[in-house]
Amino acid sequence: MKQAAEALLREMVSIYSPVGQEREITQYLVRAMQERGLQAHLDEAGNVIGELGNGSRSVVLLGHIDTVPGFIPVRQEAGRLYGRGAVDAKGPFATFVSAAAQYGTPRDAKLIIIGAVEEEGDSAGARYIVDRCRPDFAIIGEPSGWNHITLGYKGSMTLCYTLERETSHSAGAAQTAAETAVAFWTRLQGYAESFNQGKTRLFDRLMPTLASITSRGDGFTEGVEMVIQLRWPAELDVPAFESWLRDEAAPATATITSREVPYRAEKRTLLTGAFLAAIRAAGGEPGFTLKTGTSDMNVVGPAWGCPIVAYGPGDSSLDHTPNEHIEWAEYHRAIEVLGLVIRRL
């Protein structure tokens, strides 16, 4: 069983599947799930769906099988598997499939494993299934560490700042377009610092990141564009904040191009109880975490309204990094824990 579980993850990581290019890995996973006793198919969005059991209660295991761009040569070294997606989030998804194959479905329940596409983009896969499914329990496949479960994610927002105007003389008093943009970025940092006063947890803080800035000019006009990523907590007054952004950006335009609301699950449910008991049974000391990023939990959690957590092996600080890798020992521990959860449900 261990060899089969390792072979599954190794093959998944070997298939390069950046966001928007998931077809090869979905086709592989349909075959891999069928070989492990699941009924598997692709839906119209390109998600891979595997099902086990036909009981009245449904348990959805929702992971994503796309990655950020950048292939990492796959290698095994010192009990670790290196490769893009080993942690985020092919490791957690392989945990889902392996646990289902090894431990089977809960009594009187139906297990539905979903490998969603484009999570690293606009979560198109999760948005497709959110209204087509109403599970009794849901587990999101994201790295939490084998002995922790994640209860919540912050909100996210992408701001596009655009300014174009006539070129002024460099010896004049007027700011250049680039200087005006930088001044706006500095004011935004000040807004965040003021909002964050007294907030010690990153989960409670407003966190702006300058993703890119590009300036241009042709001798007659000059322009600048900035893309700013914002991670925001539930306590933020979003309408007031967006009004501040528009006012402070003028005469530039500030456009919100994407938005995900924060989500935090309940701490005491049958699902969290099953995880706590399973982690202890596997020899661990369980804990809860809150993440400063976002996941498909932000999409499906509010709509489904059922007990939900995020779980999976791996160190999330390795997400999107050139050193991404997973410990084989942790991967197998997570399969054991998830198998126990399935049984306890």
Active-site residue, 119 included: yes
What lies within 8 Å, CB to CB, of 20 at 6+ separation is 66, 118, 121
Closest CA relative to residue 126, chosen from 295, 315, 319: 295
Active-site residue, 66 included: yes
Closest CA relative to residue 269, chosen from 138, 167, 79: 138
> How would DSSP label each residue in 192-223?
HHHHTTT--SGGGS-EEEEEEEEEEE-SSEEE
Q: Choosing from 119, 142, 296, 330, which is the catalytic residue?
A: 119
**Kind plus residue range of the DSSP H or E element containing 287:** strand 287-291
Per DSSP, the three-state class of 298 is helix
In residues, how long is the chain?
A: 345
Q: Choosing from 22, 66, 120, 327, which is the catalytic residue?
A: 66
160-to-78, 106, 139, 169, 238 alpha-carbon distances in Å: 44, 47, 33, 27, 16
Strands laid side by side in the 80-82 sheet: 75-77, 80-82, 325-327
Place of tokens 């209860």: 151
CA dihedral 306, 46, 83, 73 (to 10 degrees): -170
266-to-112, 141, 224, 282 alpha-carbon distances in Å: 22, 18, 44, 23
Hey, which residues are catalytic here? 66, 119
